[in-house]
Amino acid sequence: IRDSSVTGVQTCALPIYFVVAMFIQVFRHSQTNALELTMRIHHEGRAVAGIYTFEIAEQKISDATNLARQHGFPLVLKAEAE
């Protein structure tokens, strides 16, 4: 099984508080870690949310995307092979 990293890419339409909450809820990051990842996305355009098996990465992407759509946000996540 190949590992995949989940990368978050933020658009201007996403509020920082939502991205932090998504990292905490879906990816189980601490508040401090979630804020650091969110700020990295804000400043650098992307950050690695975690390294998972491909199947788990796909599920987390689906969960995060569904959460964003429920709140009307255009979240973009992708899995990349390690």
- pTM of structure: 0.81
Which three-class secondary structure state does DSSP give residue 6?
Answer: strand
Q: What is the dihedral of CA 24, 27, 30, 35, to 10 degrees?
A: -70
How many whole angstroms separate alpha carbon 23 and alpha carbon 70?
16
What does the pLDDT look like over 34-44, one tens digit per residue? 999 999 988 88
Cα separations (Å) of 70 from 7, 34, 73?
A: 20, 20, 8
How many whole angstroms separate alpha carbon 76 and alpha carbon 43?
16
Residue 80 — very low, low, confident or very high, per pLDDT cuts 50/70/90? confident
